[in-house]
Amino acid sequence: MSEVPVQSRIVVLVKQVLDANVRPRVRPDGSGVDLANLKLSMNPFDEIALEAAVKLKEQGEAQEVIAITVGRGKAQDTLRAALAMGADRGILVECEPELEPLAVAKAAWSVITDLEPVLVIAGKQAIDDDCHQTGQMLAALLGWGQALCASRIALSHDHAEVDCEVDNGRETLRLPLPAVVTTDLRLNTPRSISLPNLMKAKSKPIDIVASSALEIDVRPRLKIVEVREPRVRSAGVKVETAAEIAKVLKELTVA
């Protein structure tokens, strides 16, 4: 790979998830969460990732933005949304649904090595499985550096400078490119999709790659024994005055 990539590409990982405003239903038999007929959307952190990539392109820091999703055929809806937000093209790695982060990372890895991007941006976590591991796994497989929970990304010709939200504040990392960055909510506010851009997206290309064509093992490694509703908390008592709250605090011996 050349020092300064002629075609500097940014790859964004986008995942289709149950819409954040929909309440998931646990199947009574404990076999999982029922997604049938429920609204699916792009993982909110991936919208932030895509917005970051498109902004970098608009600033002239990148020439092409490619959105990749790993999943079933209908995940193409999420790629279309990515194209409408400004991605230039999309890649669907078509797999059976039981995908674990390791399998997603491997699928992305095998596609990305051919694309030679300068940067891969993913969400810090997907709001369904809440695993927060895919981006890091991908970085490890590629042998690249990582910056997680980004609230600022600046690119120079061979480095990225990233502000990362950490437990007790913020750290700034400098990474040689190529690298993997995951996004936090402070990074930006994703643009809403306009009708003309939605129409334009229809003519942008989506490549479909069968995971079976990639030499990777995407079998699930974990066995889900069951999925249950959490313990429910019942509502407590209504108190009438602030004085009663003070009394409660004293009784709890915290005050």
Cβ contact 109:100 at 8 Å:
no
- For residue 175, give every residue at least 6 positions away whose Cβ sits within 8 Å of its Cβ, in sequence order, or none: 144, 145, 146, 147, 159, 160, 161, 162, 181
For residues 68 and 79, what is the distance between their CA atoms, to the nearest angstrom?
Answer: 7
Does position 191 interact with other proteins (CB under 8 A)? The reply is: no
- In degrees to the nearest 10, what's the CA dihedral of 10, 13, 19, 24? -160
Q: Considering CB distances under 5 to 8 angstroms, the limit depending on partner class, which of other proteins, ligand FAD, none binds residue 246?
A: other proteins
Does position 222 interact with other proteins (CB under 8 A)? The reply is: yes
Q: Structure tokens of 206?
A: 């989506």
Cβ contact 153:187 at 8 Å:
yes
State which residue, 11 or 142, has the beta carbon closest to other proteins. Answer: 142
Q: Which of residues 209-248 bind ligand FAD (CB under 6 A)?
A: 220, 222, 224
CB of 113 to ligand FAD, least distance (A): 16
CB of 116 to ligand FAD, least distance (A): 19
For residues 147 and 164, what is the distance between their CA atoms, to the nearest angstrom?
Answer: 7
Specify the DSSP class assigned to residue 143: T
Binding test (CB under 8 A) with other proteins, winner from 37, 168, 192, 203:
168
Binding test (CB under 8 A) with other proteins, winner from 4, 38, 166, 213:
166
Binding test (CB under 6 A) with ligand FAD, winner from 4, 20, 38, 208:
20
Binding site for ligand FAD (CB under 6 A): 13-15, 20, 32, 43-46, 68-71, 97-101, 104, 122-123, 125-135, 220, 222, 224
